[in-house]
Amino acid sequence: MKRWSHAILPTLLLLLTACGEPADRILRMGLASAPLNLDPRYTVDATAERINRLLYQRLIEFDARSMPTPGIADWQRLTSRHYRIRLNARAGPFMHGRRVDADDVIATYRYVLDPDKVSPRRTTLTLIESISKVDALTVDFHLSRTDPLFPAYLTLDILPADLLAKSHDFARLPVGSGPFVLHAWPEPGKLLLQRRNDRQLIELLEVKNPTVRVLKLLRGEIDLLQNDLSPELIGYLASKSSIELQRRFGSNYTYIGFNLQDPHTGDPRVRRAIAHAIDRQAIIDRVMAGAARRAEALFPPEHWLGSGQLTAHGYDPATARRLLSEAGFGAGNPLRLVYKTSSDPYRIRLATIIQSQLKAVGIEVDLRSYDWGTLFGDIKAGNFQLYSLSWVGLRTPDSFRYIFASDSLPPMGANRGRYANSLVDDLLRRAEAAGALPKQAVLYQRIQQQLHEDLPYVSLWYEGQVSAQGERVRGYRLMADGNYDGLAQVSLYQTEEPQDARSAVAH
């Protein structure tokens, strides 16, 4: 009997603790999609990566200009191919008690680099030749080639070496050293995180339909939501006094891609005509309710590479018609193109407006929407003339090689439009061989300029970030790349709190 009570009582107490948390003390955030798998070695979806940022720590982080800055480690460049990483005071303890050390860093990076483990994170790290331990807090990385941007690739979430050795199930039971721990995952689409410093519970709840997400916010069933809202819903929320909206510039880049092997879209005059025929500002102002800014290049102006010096391909229907005429198209012989996009209603709406603007200059566009798998399959196979997509989370200029080098055709890279320019290839080689960042920056800026002239993409806009929160929420900070780091500081307004204190926090 005694043994029985010893086993049962702690379990009951644990259950009572888990269930006893008053529902109104939990902050609820509505997500458009929830992760199925939280193993940072294998996740590729943005939501899982954002949640993992809360559960784990990384060696480096990025500043507002997308330059690498120390995360839980400082780095030192000993030679062009030898970097020394030293864990700093920010390296916290794992949830099972032990502080992050050199063995954890080595185990995490070695796991991902092991070809047999087939981690999607391996690609950017293949330049690592070897990793060695210097002392309990210091690790040396030896590279196979020079890359001054190497620290920017050290973005893996650090896992505990002891659990890695035991093949722990990180997909369902994450163990990290970040500001949160996974408190419960009672069902698919609902995760309960607990902040380690004050035990604040945060529930992440999947609510797929954006209208329903907004209605749940208004009814108080969720406290916070972020992005994936149509302009109409943002406008509706803005009209509600009980809701606080936050907006800020984002860096997710939306573009129209061309197939350069197609006889029509391979003609630069046609691509320039399309660039001049699209009134991006009108779409941003009237359809996107200002929730975006015009883009001229892959990286936004605030990125350390910058793109502010590029001259915009402005809206100019007359020039568009002239260029089409020079390319041999006119009223009697209109240009007909197929434009592929996803089945997302908002994307279809934007594509329909672009279709209408192109029609105004004499381009007949056949708009086709597909589910993601089919669209992506067609684009990778080069089975398209025009398509539109977005690049999310680009930070480092190795993206230029990946997207525009002539030897980066799928599946070797993402040069889906089969763009080939020997000058760009040469500039890429020189930039990669450059020993210092300023020299790299100059070369990458020249690449940006060349791409701007060749137009393998028509840049559309950088989509902004928006969040909406109910009256209980205090101190949530919206991040430029849409991550959920703001949850580390957010708090709930307690009803017993004096009203003046509430106002003070709100302002």
Partner 1 sequence: MGAFLISRLLSALVVMLGVVCLVFLLIHLVPGDPVDVMLGESARPADREALRTRLGLDQPMAIQLGHYFKGLAVLDLGVSLHAKQPVAELLAARIPATLELALAAISCALLIAIPLGIVAAVKRGGAWDWGAMGFSMLGVSIPNFWLGPMLILCFSLWLGWTPVSGREGTASLILPAVTLGTAFAAILARMVRSSLLEVLGEDFVRTARAKGVDEPRVIWRHAMRNAWLPVVTLLGLQFGALLGGAVVTEVVFDWPGIGSLMIEAIQTRDYPLVQGCVLFISLAYLLVNTLTDILYGLIDPRIRDGAGA
Number of Cβ within a 10 Å radius of residue 324: 25
Assess whether the previous peptide bond of 40 is cis (omega < 30° from 0): no
Give 81-128 as a DSSP string: TEEEEEE-TT--B-TTSPBP-HHHHHHHHHHHH-GGG--TTSGGGTTE
Q: Does 209 bind partner 1 (CB under 8 A)?
A: yes
Instruction: Enumerate the β-bridge partners of residue 205.
Output: 30, 190
Q: Does 382 bind partner 1 (CB under 8 A)?
A: no
d(CA 424, CA 91): 41
> Which of these segments, 187-195, 285-293, 350-358, 431-439, binds partner 1 (CB under 8 A)?
187-195
d(CA 89, CA 17): 32
Give 332-398 as a DSSP string: SS-EEEEEEEES-HHHHHHHHHHHHHHHHTTEEEEEEEE-HHHHHHHHHTT--SEEEEEE-S--STH
Site for partner 1 in 149-178 (CB under 8 A): 171-172
Q: Given the complex with partner 1, which of 372 and 494 has the nearer CB atom?
A: 372
Kind plus residue range of the DSSP H or E element containing 38 = none
Q: Given the complex with partner 1, which of 470 and 486 has the nearer CB atom?
A: 470
Beta carbon of residue 264, minimum distance to partner 1 (angstroms, whole number): 23
Q: Given the complex with partner 1, which of 111 and 329 has the nearer CB atom?
A: 111
> Which of these segments, 121-129, 269-277, 327-335, 418-426, binds partner 1 (CB under 8 A)?
121-129
Beta carbon of residue 66, minimum distance to partner 1 (angstroms, whole number): 18
How wide is the angle at C-alpha 249 spanned by C-alphas 419 and 177, nearest 5°?
95
Query: According to CB under 8 A, which one of 187, 198, 496, 500 is a site residue for partner 1?
Result: 187
> Which of these segments, 7-15, 205-213, 253-261, 438-446, binds partner 1 (CB under 8 A)?
205-213
DSSP state of 280: H
Q: Does 332 bind partner 1 (CB under 8 A)?
A: no
Query: According to CB under 8 A, which one of 97, 332, 373, 438 is a site residue for partner 1?
Result: 373
Query: According to CB under 8 A, which one of 37, 88, 144, 309 is a site residue for partner 1?
Result: 37
Query: According to CB under 8 A, which one of 21, 103, 162, 206 is a site residue for partner 1?
Result: 206
> Which of these segments, 194-202, 203-211, 422-430, 463-471, binds partner 1 (CB under 8 A)?
203-211
3-state SS assignment for residue 10: helix
> Which of these segments, 131-139, 267-275, 411-419, 442-450, binds partner 1 (CB under 8 A)?
411-419
Q: Given the complex with partner 1, which of 93 and 120 has the nearer CB atom?
A: 120
- By CB neighbour count within 10 A (0-12 exposed, 13-18 middle, 19+ buried), where does 411 fall? exposed
- Unique residue bearing structure tokens 């380690």: 196
- Length of the chain, in residues: 507
Question: What x/- string results for residues 389 through 408 when contact with partner 1 is judged by CB under 8 A?
Answer: -------------x------
d(CA 373, CA 171): 24
Question: What x/- string results for residues 42 through 71 when contact with partner 1 is judged by CB under 8 A?
Answer: x-x---------------------------
d(CA 42, CA 312): 39
Side chain identity, residue 197:
N
Binding site for partner 1 (CB under 8 A): 36-37, 39, 42, 44, 115-116, 118, 120, 122-124, 126, 171-172, 187-189, 205-209, 211-212, 215-216, 218-219, 221, 371-374, 376-378, 380-381, 402, 410-414
